[in-house]
Amino acid sequence: MTIERYLRAIAGFFILVSVFLAYYHSPYWLFFTGFVGLNLLQSAFTNWCPMMSILKKLGVGK
């Protein structure tokens, strides 16, 4: 798998978990959902994402 596919999988997982937590625990978890969405939006324009840097350092997607 490429690093971009890992990134999409992790972002999707984070969003699903935060929506689940917002429904069953506290609606404040939706701030985390918004953070993930904003991060994805800025990475579309800047081509840089903190998670991609972390994945590269871990040697994922080589």
Q: 11-56, pLDDT tens digit by residue?
A: 999 999 999 999 999 999 999 999 999 999 999 999 899 999 999 9
Does residue 26 form part of some domain? Answer: yes
Q: Which domain covers residue 18, as residue numbers?
A: 3-57
Does residue 18 form part of some domain? Answer: yes
Count: domains in the chain: 1
Residue-level pLDDT at 62: 65
Q: Is the sign of the CA dihedral 31, 36, 37, 42 positive or negative?
A: positive
Does residue 62 form part of some domain? Answer: no
Rounded distance, CA 3 to CA 61, Å? 5
The reported pTM is 0.85
Does residue 51 form part of some domain? Answer: yes
Does residue 13 form part of some domain? Answer: yes
Does residue 8 form part of some domain? Answer: yes
